[in-house]
Amino acid sequence: LYRRLAAGLGSIPGLRLRGIVDRAQFERRTPTAGFTLEGFTAREVATQLGDRGIAVWDGDFYATGLVERLGLAAEGLVRVGLTHYNTAEEVDRLIGELGEIAGRARGGTVTAGATAAAARI
């Protein structure tokens, strides 16, 4: 599921996944994604997803020093964590909703492309 999530997040213009992004190294990371979305604070993204029934976290997750060094102290990160009970459909829904949020900031949508990228995993 994490590979599906990473591919879908990577298909969204303006979204930057933080941490290990090399697919060959994914076994070195947990199935948790931290990301930023251009034009939005982490709180704005988390609020919009929450309004759509999708739970994510925003902030620095007690990694204050790291987030400051990344230059993200003001906007924070969005955090999505997958567990054993998540499904591919939930990942696809998250990617679709993020695509719509990102697309509205750019005057369009990227939902179809984002969902298609996730489905190829």
Tell me the C-alpha distance between 106 and 17, whole Å.
19
- What pTM, to 2 d.p., does this model score? 0.81
Query: By C-alpha distance, which of 61, 57, 60 is closest to 74?
Result: 60
pLDDT for 64-113, tens place per residue? 988 898 888 888 999 999 999 999 999 999 999 999 999 987 665 444 44
pLDDT for 17-57, tens place per residue? 988 788 888 888 888 899 999 999 999 999 999 999 999 99
| CB 81, CB 31: distance < 8 Å | yes
